[in-house]
Amino acid sequence: MAAMMNLSQQLRLGLKLTPQQVQYLKLLQLPTLALEQRIKMELEINPVLEPMEEMEQVLEQEEPATVAEAEDEAEAKTEDSYTLEDYLNDDLAGHKAPDTFRQNNEDEDGYESPVPSSVPLSERLLAQFRLSNTDETDTLIAEEIIGNIDSDGYLRRDLALVLQDLNLSFGLEIPLERAEVVLKQIHMLEPPGIAARSLQECLIAQLKGRACEMTLKQLGLKILEQQFDDFKAKRFDELARSLRVGTETLKKVFDVIQHLNPKPGDGEFSAQENYVTPDFIVARDNGDFIITLNDRNVPTLRINNAYRDLIAPKGKKVSAETKDFVKKKFEAAKWFIASIHQRRETLLKVMHAILDRQRQWFEEGENLKPMIYKDVAGVVGVDISTISRVVNSKYVQTEFGVYPLRYYFTSGLESDNGEDVSNQAVKQRVKDIISCEDSQNPLNDDKIAEMLQKEGIRIARRTVAKYREQLSLPIARMRKKI
């Protein structure tokens, strides 16, 4: 029996992104430094693209070739945006989008003083160890241990595994006991406590080498070695009873311990390795704000005229294969330049929307208003996902410091007067309350919630606990002091 065929119609609504749109969205989420690398990579793979020299940019911006071009330039400067269509109609001349917010003294302010070179921590530790121990095997063990130290100064890898690698690499049979002795010697180097395997071991090593009153040192070592759990939990009564000392003596011992460094490897990053490059610069000028997109190191791109002539109707006679290759690269270059300009336009629009919504913060450095992606998306006229891409890994430099764009997006809590209060403002209030509390009777989350409710902020205890944890503040019992 023959199978029957059924024909039916289905209507579906779908959205497909073109390769050009995908490229634009990928460029949109890149921060400034990543964009520079992406442009350099595109210049390498696409011969049709070329960077415009700085002198050519100046001449092209300051000396229009014709009166008509001068009028067009003047008209462009009066507009707030430079659209994708504007660029495609600009004959791919390589102009940057007009920026009415660019300051004249950018080059003067852009100078960065050179950073002095410094000797890495690992080399300093090895130099100290060689001065105190001349045994070649011990030095070999020390090199292996120091090479496994984390950035905060701890040895988190099992010492037995470190020693196993060393023995296999050099064909040795060094016992674990000898490695333990070398590790103890490393603990006493500068900074003391380096290469410790735990916080307890780190503090004990530091206290042993610390110059202080012998009685306090002995009591401190007894606390760290025998009653570390009571010390962490701040069970003051239990410690005082066990040590048979009064409150004043216990307080002095705690002061000695609390002045030890829990992360001896911190601060070993140089300024070149640990800094943020802002994508926007917001400066105040006569009561108003100037927004600058920090793209001074991003080269201006244009089409190479030599390749343009190859595909021109009256251009040189070349093979069809060559012409097809150049045509594809020409289209790719055209859309890449257009995507760069559209990215710039979108970033400036989003930053303007953020500034307009959070103007009070940019004026005073506090009092953020509740704002979500949807609020900015409605103003700019784009999808919420586009705002998410713009905000991703972007920073803005203000007179109050450098902040990630995500900082300005906060949810709100309702107050008694009907106005929403930013959760950032509530977090700051929680921090202020805790900083002013009685250190001997710290406030628990319920008490803090009651105080905020009396101030007109409707908040639950669990929300206070969440904000306190986000601020890296311990619970009330752990904040108690002698």
What stretch of H or E contains 124? Answer: helix 121-132
Instruction: Give the model's confidence band at 122: pLDDT under 50 very low, under 70 low, under 90 confident, else very high.
Output: confident
Single-letter amino acid, residue 274? N
Q: How many residues does the chain have?
A: 482
pLDDT of the residue at 117: 64
CB count within 10 Å of CB 163 equals 22
Residues near 172 by Cβ (< 8 Å), separated by ≥ 6? 137, 140, 166
Which of 346, 341, 359, 338 lies closest to 389, judged by CA?
Answer: 346
Give Cα separations from 245 to 217, 224, 236, 478 (angstroms).
14, 16, 11, 21
pLDDT digits (tens, 9 = 90+) for 10-41: 787 766 667 777 888 888 888 888 888 888 99
Burial 26-52 (b: 16+ CB within 10 A, else e): ebbbbbbeebbebbeebbeebebbbbb
Q: Report the DSSP beta bridge partners of residue 11.
A: none
pLDDT digits (tens, 9 = 90+) for 44-91: 888 888 887 654 554 444 444 443 443 444 344 334 443 444 444 443
CA dist., res. 43 & res. 118, Å (int): 35
Domain 411-482 - what CATH class?
A: mainly alpha
pLDDT of the residue at 127: 92
pTM attached to this predicted model: 0.56
DSSP string for 133-155: ---HHHHHHHHHHHHT--TTSB-
Q: What stretch(es) of the chain map to CATH 1.10.10.60?
A: 411-482
Q: Write out the two tokens for 208.
A: 């042993």
Single-letter amino acid, residue 107? D
Which contacts qualify for 78-83: CB closer than 8 Å, 24 or more apart? 81/345, 81/348, 81/349, 82/341, 82/344, 82/345, 83/342, 83/345
More reliable by pLDDT, 311 or 219: 219
Lowest mean pLDDT among 291-295, 403-407, 437-441: 437-441
DSSP string for 395-456: EEEETTEEEEGGGG-B-EEEBTTS-EEEHHHHHHHHHHHHHTS-TTS---HHHHHHHHHHTT
CA dist., res. 463 & res. 426, Å (int): 10
Q: Is 435 buried (19+), middle (13-18) or exposed (0-12) by CB count in 10 A?
A: exposed
